[in-house]
Chain A
Amino acid sequence: MTRSVTVFNPGGISLIQDAGRAGFQRYGVSVSGVMDPEALLIGNHLLGNEPGAAAIEVTFGGSEFRFEAELVAVVTGGNLQPSLDGTPLDNWETFVASAGSVLRFGVPVEGLRAYLCIEGGFDVPPVLGSRSTHVASRIGGLNGGPLSAGDSLSVGPSSSHALPSSALPAELRHSTTGEITIRVVRGPQYSSFTDSGVGTFLSSNYTVSDKSDRQGLRLEGPVIEASGGKYDILSDAVVFGSVQVPGDGKPIVLMADRQTTGGYTKIATVASVDLPLLAQVTPGTMLKFVEISVTEAQSLMRQRRAAILNSDIRSGICAGNGGVTVNGTVYEMGIQFRRTDIGQSTAGMATVSLPGVRFTARVNEVPDSSIR
């Protein structure tokens, strides 16, 4: 069977996204990419993919996808009640989808966006070095637009180390319910705001408006006062997480589909470590902002990434086949062991039982491709 996934029903909106189209902002090309970079990183890590392999970003749920071949996959990000042929799936744990099986998303019960990551990644033609879809400029994805029913998506070559049983440890799965505190660093135009304006921003509750989208989160709340009422600047470059304050004094957090430049004062920039939280907020969610230093923000993002990449995600029971030659006779054998390392190959001890013989064999190296 061809390694592909068919879109049965795109649901709310389903988009091919990867780590983004960096490098072309000077030509006005939006970075786009996933809203929740951590969910993509984790999904690809669990599958042994390249960190930026393309996934399907499912927003609002209601989508259905059919696997046309046996494929290892994982759902990360928000909890949109995924199920495989009717059996509920847990986010953050890889599963083997058999050929013909159908993955369905329900409505969001926590968060807003889920990511379907697959061994090898979705293989649409890259445009300017990325598979990300930027709908506004019709670039990337499948013909520049959202996925629609009937679309067939090729899956890239299997990674040599995709494992069918890996999972993100529970302590690393964060919650996006209740009131959320977002850490920010000072923005480039921080000093354009009055002390009282900065105070308002850092002490008030802001509510995510339903006019929010992949381009930005519009927030409702107290007006932030700029010195001399000047909210406009000469257009300059913005980043993922720039907090702009336009003339109405209500902040807008720029997200994945942001334009490359903007003409409003930027009071703050969201710390990278907290962007995944913003990617998952639903309209009506209450946010609070606290200021930290850039050094602190970098330390937090590094700690978080290290915790993810060094966590014991591949602790599942793995099985492999092999053979042992005893006195000239070859015995086929099965090996089962608990995998605990994260290298490209696996070493460990395996206990092997053969008729009339019992011994312990040392397994020096088992290529991951043999573990299925």
Chain B
Amino acid sequence: MSEASHSVKKYPRILPAGDQALMVEFGNEISPSVNDDVYALADRLSVESPSWLGEIVPTYRSLLIAYDGFQFDYDRVYRELSEFLSADTGNNVGTVRSPVVFELPVAYGGQDGPDLAQVAEHAGLTVEEVVSIHTSVSYRVYMIGFSPGFPYLGGMDTRIACPRLGTPRTRVPAGSVGIAESQTGVYPNASPGGWQLIGRTPVRLFDVTAEPPSLLQPGHFVRFVPVSIDQMVEIEREIDQGNYRVETAELSE
């Protein structure tokens, strides 16, 4: 089985996920093209809206597709989904959305980023260099998971990679921007956490009264923009007054 089978197309493949869901896997790696395939299927399903389609949950390399198992037979959903996948040419599936970059203002260091100096020391760089590297990339939102609105971002420069804290903090403030190994991310809500905190954004990534509740959508991009403490205070005031809009831009390579 295993390695000998590369003549057989391994992906996409449909896996069982209980009596009310199926999983479609497009690969086994974190890569923009695999992630694009996930969102392409999510978009096509949403557009074509087959009668059995329930909630869908896109992740790095797979799409969970829920259906009502009381009403629809597994065999039927499996078959129709297979047809759906084979109708796909498999080439340049691409994503139908135009990539949007959300520019999140971040106050780096100080109280808002208590671990910035440690990250710099670990990297053998200055604090300024770490900020410059961290703000030079548009990060892909591969998926949202773990907690409400939490974006799994990809594309961080590994020069600023840093292990997690030995002892996680019992409370990380909402908006904290952190690094864990070669990942970077933002805590949308206050929670315990072990990431190295390098800064904080005042932007609310998750708001149950917003439609949709998560500012960032899978397939979006994020760019961090350094701001001073004074600018941070001003932005927080605008957010409280309800007249702050996150800057967005088209993705440019």
Contacts and interface: CB of A to CB of B under 8 A. Distances in A.
Interface in B24-47: 25, 28-30
A328 interface: no
A274 B29 CA distance: 34
A232 to B, nearest CB: 12
A137 B188 CA distance: 10
A302 B75 CA distance: 15
B69 A301 contact: yes
A239 B16 contact: no
Interface in B56-115: 56-62, 64, 66, 69-70, 73-75
A302 B71 CA distance: 8
B74 A237 contact: no
A298 interface: yes
Contacts of A240: 18
A236 B74 contact: no
B72 to A, nearest CB: 9
Given A139-B148, A302-B70, A26 B218 contact: yes
Which bracket fits the contact residues of A?
A: 35 or more
Contacts of A30: 148
A269 B16 contact: yes
Contacts of B189: 137-138
A272 B148 contact: no
A28 interface: yes
Given A234-B29, A236-B59, A269 B74 contact: no
A184 to B, nearest CB: 9
A151 B64 CA distance: 38
Which bracket fits the contact residues of B?
A: 35 or more
A236 B64 contact: yes
A266 B23 CA distance: 12
Contact of B150 (A28, A128, A270, A298): A28
B143 A272 contact: no
Contacts of A136: 147, 191
A188 B218 contact: no
B19 A185 contact: yes
Contact of A241 (B18, B58, B59, B74): B18
Main secondary structure of the interface of A (DSSP, over half): mixed
Contacts of B119: none
Given A24-B213, A234-B61, A297 B19 contact: yes
A27 B206 contact: yes
Interface of A: 22-30, 127-128, 136-139, 185-188, 234-237, 239-242, 259-261, 266, 269-272, 294-295, 297-298, 301-302, 305
Contacts of B212: 24, 27
A302 B28 CA distance: 35
Given A234-B30, A301-B70, A29 B143 contact: no
B55 A23 contact: yes
A235 B143 CA distance: 10
A235 B60 contact: yes
Contacts of B23: 188, 236-237
Contacts of A297: 18-19, 69
B148 A261 contact: no
B144 interface: yes
B21 A239 contact: yes
B4 interface: no
Given A28-B145, A28-B149, A128-B208, A239 B59 contact: no
Interface in B172-214: 188-189, 191, 206, 208, 212-214
Given A128-B213, A234-B29, A239-B66, A26 B19 contact: no
A295 B76 CA distance: 11
Contacts of A128: 208, 213
B15 to A, nearest CB: 4
A94 to B, nearest CB: 25
A27 B213 contact: yes
A239 B148 contact: no
A195 to B, nearest CB: 12
Given A24-B148, A29-B148, 17 more contacts: A22-B55, A26-B144, A27-B144, A27-B148, A28-B145, A128-B208, A139-B148, A234-B28, A234-B59, A236-B61, A237-B59, A239-B21, A239-B64, A260-B145, A294-B19, A298-B74, A301-B19
A296 to B, nearest CB: 9
B19 A261 contact: no
A28 B144 CA distance: 5
Contact of B214 (A27, A261, A272): A27
Given A186-B16, A188-B15, A241-B18, A27 B149 contact: yes
Given A234-B30, A236-B62, A295-B74, A25 B208 contact: no
